[in-house]
């Protein structure tokens, strides 16, 4: 299979996607990512996919119409395609109510221009300079034009028209005046608000220490600087092919796989390695390892044969043993007994590899480098897989994993394409910790040193190389840096500035500890005091 497409769902975790890449047989894989997929929330997920694909020597292409997905793929240096060839750029569109225009192609007449009275009045307060600037007042003017009625020269109609105009316009004027008065009253009662932006004084705080991550504890300990840890372990194997650079004269025996059947009885039968199986033409093949053939099953009084597969090798070298599939192998060792007909074998594929002559063969350098490469790729693949499967609340720092090979084999038996294979199996364990536990420990130290008078504005964490004390404990060097700002109680501040004039507000803000500067905006423009309700006062602290 040259190319394979993997379509993922919106809710699939990155661990599931990595497993699909590992299980894919194709050398080129297209990952189709839908809009708003869970895995597209982090660029790290795309880097994990890239590393896994490189480890498996596979080409990976990201396909999506989601611009965020394509941006992550680009940053991770992955190939990507948009099936609809859309440009990846931000677009801004107005939100319109289209229902007003349905059924008509006529455009709405443009609104007449009008002057707008300013609605906002801003003050900027600093300890060095406290000034109040009142925004200029602009009167709003409204212009109206009315078509003059044609003159009526009938003397009888003049008085009638005049009385009719007075009856129409006098009530309208009263209504408009009442609305204006009501608006002014409502503005004084309901509309006033104050926006206060405070810049608090800031200071830096650093904490460098050695933190112990211990699997055997369940709570953080500030005195010993210890936090709980968790052990995660995985086992995995990997087989790779490498070119053989050497050549030598060889007598190679053909190999293949047979299926061994038990149609004799319901008891299992053990066959030891080198047990012979004979083809109808007399050629002998021997099994490479011990096998236990399961017992047959009795169904409605009849035996149904049970079977097991086993690898075999020809008794002699040479191409004559590269035989086609065999319908029935017999077992010479059972000749003369009732088991001879009850146990037999079949092959579904050709026996191959038999050869006598000069052929590719791995040199000592080939085998040594192949083993090193296989072990490195297995370790990196397991580390990436462990990161992908780690619960989101845990943190695994660089160097906190321990890897060991449990099995390593080099098959010098050459393939027909001149390559040889290596096999490696290993285990990996890691000590991870919850980031919240670490932050809680740091915050306890901060509270001890600042007496809770500062709050964290921004912070960064950096880790050194961990040191394992034993399989359950490691010591981790930590460098924590934070920018702290003075803790200002916003609710208490609101209660203090209710109904304050500008001068009183200035004096009161000067008395707030830790305030560096402040900016006040009162609305509407005629307001000269802070509102009488705290719900109309809005404070932000930077």
pLDDT above 70 coverage of the chain, percent: 81
pTM: 0.46
Strand (E) or helix (H) holding 86: none
Would you state the pLDDT for residue 184?
64
Structure tokens at 173: 């004027």
Would you state the pLDDT for residue 1?
58
- Mean pLDDT, residues 246-250 taken together: 83
Strand (E) or helix (H) holding 102: none
Give residue 106's pLDDT band: very low, low, confident or very high (50, 70, 90): very low
Strands 226-228 and 202-214: parallel
Give residue 314's pLDDT band: very low, low, confident or very high (50, 70, 90): very high
- Mean pLDDT, residues 23-41 taken together: 89
Of the candidate ranges 38-42, 122-126, 161-165, the one whose mean pLDDT is the lowest: 122-126
Q: Are 466 and 475 in contact (CB under 8 A)?
A: yes
- Residues near 186 by Cβ (< 8 Å), separated by ≥ 6? none
DSSP track, 14-74: HHHHHHHHHH---SEEEEE--TT-GGGG-HHHHHHHHHHHHHTT-EEEEE-S-HHHHHHHH
- Residues near 76 by Cβ (< 8 Å), separated by ≥ 6? 43, 46, 47, 49, 50
Structure tokens at 42: 């982090």
**Integer Cα distance of 347 and 68 in angstroms:** 53
**DSSP structure class, residue 526:** T
DSSP, collapsed to helix, strand or coil, labels residue 366 as helix
Beta strands in 229-354, from DSSP E residues, in sequence order: 230-243, 246-262, 269-271, 276-278, 284-287, 291-293, 297-299, 302-304, 306-317, 343-346
Statement: residue 169 has pLDDT above 50: no
Q: Are 75 and 43 in contact (CB under 8 A)?
A: yes
Between the alpha carbon of residue 279 and those of residues 148, 251, 314, 331, 346, the distances in Å are: 119, 21, 11, 9, 9
Q: Are 293 and 306 in contact (CB under 8 A)?
A: yes
- Mean pLDDT, residues 519-541 taken together: 83
- Over the stretch 346-363, which tens digit does the pLDDT of each residue have? 999 999 988 888 878 899
Of the candidate ranges 65-69, 118-122, 255-259, the one whose mean pLDDT is the lowest: 118-122
Statement: residue 266 has pLDDT above 90: yes
**DSSP structure class, residue 336:** T
**Integer Cα distance of 425 and 374 in angstroms:** 10
DSSP track, 137-175: P---------PPPPP---HHHHHHHHHHHHHHHHHHHHH
β-bridge partners, 162: none
- Residues near 278 by Cβ (< 8 Å), separated by ≥ 6? 284, 285, 329, 330, 331, 332
Statement: residue 306 has pLDDT above 60: yes
Where do runs of H (alpha helix) occur along 89-240?
155-189
40 prior amide bond cis, ω within 30: no
Of the two residues 197 and 189, the one the predictor is more confident about is: 197
Q: Are 500 and 509 in contact (CB under 8 A)?
A: no
Statement: residue 192 has pLDDT above 80: yes
- Mean pLDDT, residues 424-446 taken together: 92
> 23-37, 118-132, 176-190, 326-340 — which one is most confidently predicted on average?
326-340
Give residue 383's pLDDT band: very low, low, confident or very high (50, 70, 90): very high
Statement: residue 111 has pLDDT above 60: no
**DSSP structure class, residue 296:** P
Would you state the pLDDT for residue 361?
85
Would you state the pLDDT for residue 138?
39
Would you state the pLDDT for residue 170?
54
Would you state the pLDDT for residue 100?
37
Statement: residue 319 has pLDDT above 80: yes
Statement: residue 114 has pLDDT above 60: no
Would you state the pLDDT for residue 247?
84
The side-by-side arrangement of strands in the sheet containing 3-7 is 3-7, 28-32, 59-63, 79-81
Would you state the pLDDT for residue 263?
94
β-bridge partners, 6: 31
Would you state the pLDDT for residue 369?
95
Statement: residue 378 has pLDDT above 90: yes
- Over the stretch 329-349, which tens digit does the pLDDT of each residue have? 999 999 999 999 999 999 999
Give residue 292's pLDDT band: very low, low, confident or very high (50, 70, 90): very high
Statement: residue 86 has pLDDT above 50: no
Would you state the pLDDT for residue 23?
87
- Mean pLDDT, residues 71-81 taken together: 91
Sign of CA dihedral 5, 11, 14, 16: negative
Would you state the pLDDT for residue 85?
58
Give residue 424's pLDDT band: very low, low, confident or very high (50, 70, 90): very high
Give the torsion through C-alpha atoms of 335, 340, 346, 351, to 10 deg.
-10
- Mean pLDDT, residues 397-416 taken together: 87
Would you state the pLDDT for residue 226?
94
Give residue 454's pLDDT band: very low, low, confident or very high (50, 70, 90): confident
Statement: residue 462 has pLDDT above 80: yes
Backbone angles phi, psi at 224, to 5 degrees: -95, 0
**Integer Cα distance of 348 and 327 in angstroms:** 8
Statement: residue 53 has pLDDT above 50: yes
β-bridge partners, 228: 214
Longest dimension (CA), the chain: 145
Statement: residue 420 has pLDDT above 60: yes
Would you state the pLDDT for residue 109?
40
Residue 386: name the closest of 373, 374, 397 by CA: 397
Give residue 413's pLDDT band: very low, low, confident or very high (50, 70, 90): confident
Would you state the pLDDT for residue 117?
37
């Amino acid at each position: 299979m040259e190319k394979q497409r993997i379509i993922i769902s919106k809710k699939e975790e990155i661990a599931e996607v990595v497993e699909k890449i590992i299980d894919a047989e194709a050398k080129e894989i297209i990952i189709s990512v839908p809009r708003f997929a869970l895995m597209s929330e982090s660029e790290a997920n795309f880097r994990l996919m890239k590393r896994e694909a490189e480890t498996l020597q596979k080409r990976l292409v990201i396909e999506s119409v989601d611009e965020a997905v394509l941006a992550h793929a680009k940053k991770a240096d992955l190939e990507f395609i948009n099936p609809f060839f859309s440009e990846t750029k931000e677009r801004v569109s107005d939100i319109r109510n289209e229902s007003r225009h349905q059924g008509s192609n006529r455009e709405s007449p443009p609104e007449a221009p009008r002057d707008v009275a300013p609605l906002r009045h801003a003050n900027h307060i600093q300890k060095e300079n406290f000034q109040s600037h009142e925004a200029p007042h602009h009167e709003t003017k409204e212009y109206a034009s009315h078509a003059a009625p044609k003159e009526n020269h009938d003397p009888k109609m003049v008085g009638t028209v005049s009385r009719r105009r007075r009856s129409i316009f006098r009530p309208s004027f009263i209504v408009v005046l009442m609305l204006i008065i009501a608006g002014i009253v409502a503005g004084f009662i309901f509309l006033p608000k104050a926006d206060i932006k405070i810049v608090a004084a800031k200071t830096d705080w650093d904490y460098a220490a050695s933190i112990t991550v211990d699997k055997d504890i369940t709570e953080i300990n500030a005195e010993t600087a210890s936090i709980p840890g968790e052990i995660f372990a995985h086992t995995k194997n990997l087989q790779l092919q490498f070119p053989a650079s050497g050549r030598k004269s060889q007598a190679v025996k053909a190999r293949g796989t047979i299926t061994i059947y038990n149609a004799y009885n319901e008891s299992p039968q053990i066959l030891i390695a080198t047990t012979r199986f004979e083809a109808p033409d007399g050629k002998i093949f021997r099994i490479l390892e011990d096998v236990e053939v399961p017992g047959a099953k009795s169904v409605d009084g009849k035996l149904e044969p049970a079977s097991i597969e086993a690898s075999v090798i020809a008794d002699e070298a040479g191409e004559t043993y590269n035989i086609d599939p065999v319908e029935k192998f017999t077992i010479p060792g059972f000749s003369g007994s009732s088991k001879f007909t009850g146990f037999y074998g079949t092959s579904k594929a050709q026996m191959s590899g038999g050869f006598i002559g000069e052929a590719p063969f791995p040199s000592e350098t080939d085998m040594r480098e192949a083993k090193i490469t296989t072990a490195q790729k297995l370790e990196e693949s397991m580390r990436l897989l462990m990161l992908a499967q780690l619960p989101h609340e845990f943190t695994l720092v660089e160097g906190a994993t321990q890897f060991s090979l449990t099995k390593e084999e080099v098959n010098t038996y050459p393939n027909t394409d001149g390559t040889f294979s290596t096999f490696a199996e290993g285990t990996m364990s890691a000590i991870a910790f919850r980031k919240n536990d670490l932050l809680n420990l740091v915050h306890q130290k901060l509270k001890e040193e600042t007496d809770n008078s500062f709050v964290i504005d921004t912070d960064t964490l950096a880790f050194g190389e961990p040191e394992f004390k034993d399989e359950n404990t490691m010591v981790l060097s930590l460098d924590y840096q934070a920018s702290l700002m003075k803790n200002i109680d916003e609710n208490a501040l609101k209660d203090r500035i209710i109904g304050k004039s500008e001068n009183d507000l200035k004096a009161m803000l000067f008395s707030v500890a830790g305030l560096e500067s402040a900016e006040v905006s009162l609305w509407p423009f005629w307001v000269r005091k802070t509102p009488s309700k705290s719900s109309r006062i809005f404070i932000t602290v930077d």
